[in-house]
Structure 1
Amino acid sequence: MGRSRSYEWEDPALSAAAVGQGTGLEFLREIAAGRLPGPPVAATLDFTLDEVEHGRAVFSLVPGEEHYNPIGSVHGGVYATLLDSAAGCAVQSTLPPGMGYTSLDLTVKFLRPITVDTGRIRSVGTVISSGRRTALAEARLLDEADRPLAHATSTCMLFPLPAR
């Protein structure tokens, strides 16, 4: 009657120690290539960083029952996590060595329900504007036919990382 799922993750301190040592793009490429561990949340939800270039990041996920809310569709928090990850990593991909970021806000618009029948979904984040202290990014959640499932905007605060 019950269902179960198990997963593993690596020590997040390994990737956290590498933040800011090179550019944000270099850091994200190391994660995408598997040379640095991805964040534990990616293992928890089973999503991956598929593409990253300057000002753009793409994550994907195949929806499963483990992502469902009580009404039988993917929980809004999963949408938000994918959108926040794509928007934030798009910003991170633009950062020089020694700089970090954090999300200040995330505004999500839900457009279509997602279920196991939806198939693989992609979250595509792009930087709209970047200054010395803040950056604005957007992310689109798309199905396999590139139909929009959700949209988000995020403001990120940029800051120098402490010397290590």
Structure 2
Amino acid sequence: MKLSKELQEVQEKFSESPFWQTMGFELDHLEEGKSILKMPVSKGLENVLGTLHGGAYAGLLDTAMGITGRSVEKQPLVTIDMTIHYFRAVSEGAVYAEGKVLSRSSSLITLEAKAYDESNNMVAHSVGGFKISRKASQR
């Protein structure tokens, strides 16, 4: 995947995160205003039923929205709210999350992420509000 210098910096910032590495996220696609993340289902992310834990879905969806927002704003973002709807359990393979921008203002950005299994069934959906940091330091 060929990225502009700005998007490459966004990708590097996220992929260096300990959370990103712990969850096993992989970036499949990144362009300004859109991302696709992949998360392999692993034993460490399962719930007591042997399926992907809801918190793992939440982490994937939140991160897909965060990297998508950062691709547009080029500034750090902070999640201020997030709703999730769970549709299907996943117990093997991988889950993909596609993030996109819904609306923007000078201080807030609203994003959406949809998660799919390897058969392209939607397994979860989220909408989140993110505060845009306008601080001089770029974390």
**Range class of TM-score, shorter chain:** 0.7 to 0.9
> Percent identical across equivalent pairs?
25
Asked if 1:110 corresponds to 2:86, the answer is yes
Pick closer, same or farther for the CA change 1:132–1:47 going to 2, 3 Å.
same
What is the alpha-carbon distance in structure 1 between the residues aligned to residue 52 and residue 28 of structure 2?
21
Q: Which 4+ runs in 1 deviate beyond 3 A? A: none
What is the alpha-carbon distance in structure 2 between the residues aligned to residue 83 and residue 74 of structure 1?
13
Residue 163 of structure 1, CA deviation: 4.4
What is the alpha-carbon distance in structure 2 between the residues aligned to residue 104 and residue 127 of structure 1?
15
Asked if 1:28 corresponds to 2:10, the answer is yes
Over alpha carbons, which structure has the higher Rg? 1
Match 1:136 to one of 101, 110, 113: 110
Q: How many residues in Structure 1 have an aligned counterpart in Structure 2? A: 134
Deviations 1:84-119 (A, max 9, x none): 0001111110014xx321111111100000102xx2
Match 1:38 to one of 16, 21, 26: 16
Residue 132 of structure 1, CA deviation: 0.4
Deviations 1:68-93 (A, max 9, x none): 11122111000000000001111110
Larger fraction in strand: 2
8 A Cα contact 1:28 1:52, kept in partner = no
Q: Give TM-score scaled by structure 1 length.
A: 0.74
Match 2:77 to one of 84, 101, 104: 101
Output the aligned Cα RMSD: 2.0
Residue 37 of structure 1, CA deviation: 5.0
Where do 1:12-161 residues align within 5 Å? 23=6, 25-29=7-11, 31=12, 38-96=16-74, 99-116=75-92, 119-161=93-135
Unpaired stretches in structure 1, ≥5 consecutive residues: 1-21
Q: Give TM-score scaled by structure 2 length.
A: 0.87
